[in-house]
Chains A and B, each alone.
Chain A
Amino acid sequence: MNEAIVVENLKKVYSNGVEAVRDISFSVHYGEIFGFLGPNGAGKSTTIKTVIGLLKPTEGKIFLDGIDTLKDPYKARLVKGYASQETAVDDRLTAYENIYLQGKYFHMESSEIEKNAEKLLKMFGLWERRNALVETFSGGMMKRLDIAAALIHQPKILFLDEPTLGLDIQTRSAIWDYIRKFKENGMTIFLTTHYLEEADALCDRVAIIDKGKIMALDRPGALKSQIGGDLITMTFKEDDVSKYLEKIKEIPEIKEVARMENGVYSIVVEKNGDEMIPRLFKMADEFGVHITSVRLKRPTLDDVYMKYTGRTIREAESTRDEGRKMRMMKRRMKR
């Protein structure tokens, strides 16, 4: 079996009868960043917790690095690292103590922990603060420490549940950079997110999950191209641009040209709308046409989500337990 993660027909029904995961199958290649995208309550966390052995699957099989997690849970735990969405660091311990304990939970020698901890704390910019109590850390620092601790035993597969939940933009992009760096080092990363940008920016492949089912699974680019092409909208100084429009209709990548309200023209391009714009400008020059405004809209994963579920992620979010999550975050801040 040459896949980092294999999940076959996974089902998870909670004891209260809630079907959180309904017959999910997927596999994750070695060295890729694989994302589960969906709104809160879609079954992302349940899936990740079942895959890493925190919950028992109702049905189905799970293999991590070729190890059957149900038959050999101990060995399966060794190959993976996990950072939960709650940022599970002990704030009454120092950063170093947190990471040291994590190493000890994985039965590492103290000398090996020291070596890895120094490397990781330096990489995550926490080395100077290693002996400070974590309660003095910002949310972003805690998250970085949490991820660093998950890496102490150099796992082959890293599981990140909502790695940037509630973090500011800078911290978020810093964490994205770290995740890309892990990938460069050959690590396999499985993450869940309800942030579209995150799935788009980071993941090699994305599974769109809704109500416990995988609705679509592909590269973000491929998913978006299912939606149709990029949309360019333009306005012109001249009233009559029909000759110009006739000409650009001949470009093979251009699928559709239409006049909308208020003199706005919409042009649907198969793909790479950004590369099409300079060409359109050049041709406008040739025809003596003056473009006064131009706008490019590309399909997002939200459009993909919309296509499969009939609603946007944000709509799905607002109806679900965003409020609960916010309360949880606030409680954590107070502590």
Chain B
Amino acid sequence: MKFLAVCSTGLGSSFITQLNVEKALRELGVQGIETDHSDLGSVSQGDADVIVVGRDIAEAASGLGDVIVLDSLIDMKEITQKVSSALERHGITVPEKEQKQ
């Protein structure tokens, strides 16, 4: 399974988002999940199981499949919660879910 963080330039906001998704995955005790970041222009549907974006490009990313929209890219509580739900949507067990929610 793969999470792909996306922003317009693909090197600032999306990179920070990817690093925070990785942190959330560690906190949730989930292993073996792939993460990456990219720019909006080079992503197409099917590149990842879950696309993670900030609210400002939510509309532009809406055709990319399962999209997580974040209000803040640095709010670990929000990120962890939304990553956890996405994992469950994709049938992945989240070991540390109880402590985090």
* A and B found bound together: no
User: Which residues on B are within 8 Å of A, measured CB to CB?
Assistant: none
User: Which residues on A are within 8 Å of B, measured CB to CB?
Assistant: none
